[in-house]
Amino acid sequence: MTIKFVNLGCKVNLHETEQLRKACYEAGFSLVEENEKADLVVINSCTVTHMSDRKSRQQISRAKRDGSKVVVMGCYVDIHEEIDADLLIPNEEKDEALAKILELVAHETWNQTGYTYDKTRAFLKVQDGCNQFCSYCIIPYARGRAKSYPYEQIKQEVVELLEHGFKEIVLTGINLSSFGKEWDESLGHLLTALKEVIGETRLRLGSLEPHVITEDFLRRTQEIPGFCPQFHLSLQSGSETVLKRMNRHYTPGEYKEKVDLIREVYPHAAITTDVIVGFPEETEEEFRETLAFVEEIAFSHMHIFSYSPRQGTPAARRIDLHPEVKKRRNRELHDLAAKLKEEYLDGFVGKEVEVLFEQDSRGLTREYIQVFSEEEKPENTIETLVVKERKKEELRV
């Protein structure tokens, strides 16, 4: 029986999809590519924005049109009712996804062929849920309370990923920065626990909240030889008043202190972030504060989202801005982000970078900068090379 997976949303979903894909392959399913028809389509859905909702709906109808059996799992299932699918798996039942899928197809005919897939980078989920309740976010309602996975389980998974030949491991979580809180520990303690198993393999962290950055945390990162100095520090707004309305518990000044701490230890670190523009009632002045702050920090890469209300969240009860205003602010911030990124990349010309090559002689540095080599480079190899020039948002070696 053929099966295909459609992943939507965050890195946590991506990791879960990869795990389930592997489990289904091992259970005898034939994997097919996303653009091919399959007997069974598994959609790991997302509901973080209206766009994600729309994509989830589109994927469900496409699979139905193709005559496939449809399994929808994840956040979209938790939030919406009346989904036209053969099997629905909410977040809290994801651990039983394979058993449920096998039950669904118990009476179908099996075809035991398939293919394996390989990648250079593995996403390892170490934490789920969030207790933070940012006023615009539906995730704490959809994913539930924060929960860290046990050290032994994570270490074991790292060992297995290394045995599979992955050259980089990315630790992810819904709120990765809350790792270990249940035991009065922290993400830093996890890094120390991984020291003995990770060896020289590259280790990257998913999205972080500013509070996790401390001298102790940075010291622990320095003890990992393959640590990648890319800090995706969630900002959301550079205006103190907007941050308050967002129920984010820091000021721009406190955020800046964290960035300064990072740069003392890693002067060329990539500081990347997410920003929401057009949050309800955001004034022009507040938006200008964000622009000025973004420029002050000089982010190396930014994900910019225009605010869209999520029903059931406190922010959805506030006055939404006109779409044109959001669009203009989004464009303005994009332009600034592109300029800052180019300036950051220019700083690498003539310097050495360590590249993990993926497909077509393209790869990523430890700072998560896209690199292209004119000389052919085999997949899944690491090389240290000198940067010749920057072409748009890519470095050439």
- Count the site residues for ligand SF4 by CB under 6 A: 9
Minimum Å distance from CB 74 to ligand SF4?
14
Which tokens in the block code for residue 318? 């506030």
The beta strands (E) that lie in 38-181 are given as: 40-45, 69-74, 87-89, 121-128, 147-148, 168-173
N-to-C CA span, the chain? 44
105 versus 276: smaller Cβ distance to ligand SF4: 276
Environment class of 92 (CB within 10 Å of its CB; exposed 0-12, middle 13-18, buried 19+)? exposed
- Rounded to 5 degrees, φ, ψ at 193 are -65, -30
Minimum Å distance from CB 315 to ligand SF4?
11
134 versus 259: smaller Cβ distance to ligand SF4: 134
Instruction: Pick from 132, 192, 241, 251 the residue near ligand SF4 by CB under 6 A.
Output: 132
Integer Cα distance of 230 and 251 in angstroms: 22
Per-residue mark of binding to ligand SF4, 2-41 (x: CB under 6 A): ----------------------------------------
- Rounded to 5 degrees, φ, ψ at 154 are -65, -45
Q: Which stretch binds ligand SF4 (CB under 6 A): 88-96, 130-138, 279-287, 359-367?
A: 130-138
Minimum Å distance from CB 12 to ligand SF4?
10
Strands 370-372 and 301-306: unpaired
Q: Does 316 bind ligand SF4 (CB under 6 A)?
A: no
Minimum Å distance from CB 317 to ligand SF4?
16
Q: Kindly state the DSSP code that residue 280 receives in the 8-state scheme.
A: T
Contact 6, 70 (CB under 8 A): no
Q: Does 147 bind ligand SF4 (CB under 6 A)?
A: no
Q: Does 133 bind ligand SF4 (CB under 6 A)?
A: yes
Contact 232, 275 (CB under 8 A): no
Instruction: Pick from 63, 87, 89, 130 the residue near ligand SF4 by CB under 6 A.
Output: 130
Question: CB neighbours of 347 closer than 8 A, spacing ≥ 6?
Answer: 268
141 versus 368: smaller Cβ distance to ligand SF4: 141
Minimum Å distance from CB 46 to ligand SF4?
12
Instruction: Pick from 63, 134, 337, 397 the residue near ligand SF4 by CB under 6 A.
Output: 134
**Chain-centroid distance, C-alpha 113:** 32
Minimum Å distance from CB 274 to ligand SF4?
9
Q: Which residues bind ligand SF4 (CB under 6 A)?
A: 130, 132-134, 137, 139-140, 174-175
